[in-house]
Amino acid sequence: MDRLIAGYRKFRATTWPQERDRYEELASKGQKPETLVVSCSDSRVDPQTIFSAGPGELFVVRNVAALVPKYEPDAHYHGTSAALEFGVRVLKVRRIVVLGHAHCGGVQAMVEGAPDLAKDFVEPWIGIAKELLTTKPAPAHCDKLVHFETETVRLTLENLLSFPWINDAVKSGTLGLHGFRFDVSTGVLGLLEGEGFVSVD
Ligand SMILES: [Zn+2]
């Protein structure tokens, strides 16, 4: 716990005085983020850090492998879909960004099977993307995990369109969908364009 408490004290001493006005304004007026980020829970891929975002800028949904299931309004516990509903319909974000990354343990589990101790929830969750193993097999010449990290971002973007209110907003031009991949080892961000990711200058 010491590391967390020390980190909090640093925040209070340095960040809070700088951002205080912003926090107070957000507290009184409410949040109005323009961007919703679907990111992996991976500790190395923090959207706030990567996009140098301040308080109130990003509405973030994090889960294993940055996946979005298809639209299934039923009585199950749809945490990711609930966050999408709130962000898109209530907060009216202007864009959804799907942030995949290199060395993704979730994608690796999808390709190679979940670890033995992660069968209860991780296994069915990554099943969302399992169809890719047959619908988009990795070409012989390319890195299998990089290929599926790319295709998983693409599938998530497709699944977002299965939500009728996302589809409508995209069609009317009030909502944009974008895919990114963060390379943990180089710190370079790629934007999904056509066949693959193009490094952002
Ligand atoms: Zn990951």
Span 126-177, pLDDT tens digits: 999 999 999 999 998 889 999 999 999 999 999 999 999 999 999 999 999 9
Q: Are 48 and 19 in contact (CB under 8 A)?
A: no
Report, as an integer, the average pLDDT of 41-63: 97
Instruction: Please tell me the distance between residue 100's alpha carbon and the centre of ligand 1 in angstroms.
Output: 7
Q: Residues 54-60: what's their mean pLDDT?
A: 97
Q: How many angstroms separate the alpha carbon of residue 21 from the centre of ligand 1?
A: 34
Distance of CA 85 from the midpoint of ligand 1 (Å): 23
Tokens describing residue 185 = 């080892």
Q: Cβ distance 65 to 106 under 8 Å?
A: yes
On whether the pTM is more than 0.85, the answer is yes
The amino acid occupying position 181 is R
Question: Which residues contact residue 46 at a Cβ distance below 8 angstroms, ignoring those fewer than 6 apart?
Answer: 39
62 CA distance to ligand 1 middle (Å): 10
Half-sphere exposure of 134 (CA within 13 A, CB side): 3
Cα 193 from Cα 23, distance rounded (Å): 35
* CA of 51 relative to ligand 1 center, distance in Å: 17
Rounded to the nearest 10°, the torsion over CA 48, 51, 52, 53 is -60
Q: Quickly count: other Cβ atoms within 10 Å of residue 81's Cβ.
A: 19
**16 backbone dihedrals φ, ψ, rounded to 5°:** -55, -50
Going from the Cα of 13 to the center of ligand 1, the distance in angstroms, rounded, reads 32
* CA 197–ligand 1 middle distance (angstroms): 17
Ordered strands of the 176-183 beta sheet: 58-63, 35-40, 95-101, 176-183, 188-193, 196-199
Query: How many residues are present in the chain?
Result: 201
Per-residue pLDDT tens over the stretch 102-138: 999 999 999 999 999 999 999 999 999 999 999 999 9
83 Cα to the center of ligand 1, angstroms: 19
Amino acid at 29: K
- Residue 29 Cα, ligand 1 centroid: separation in angstroms? 34
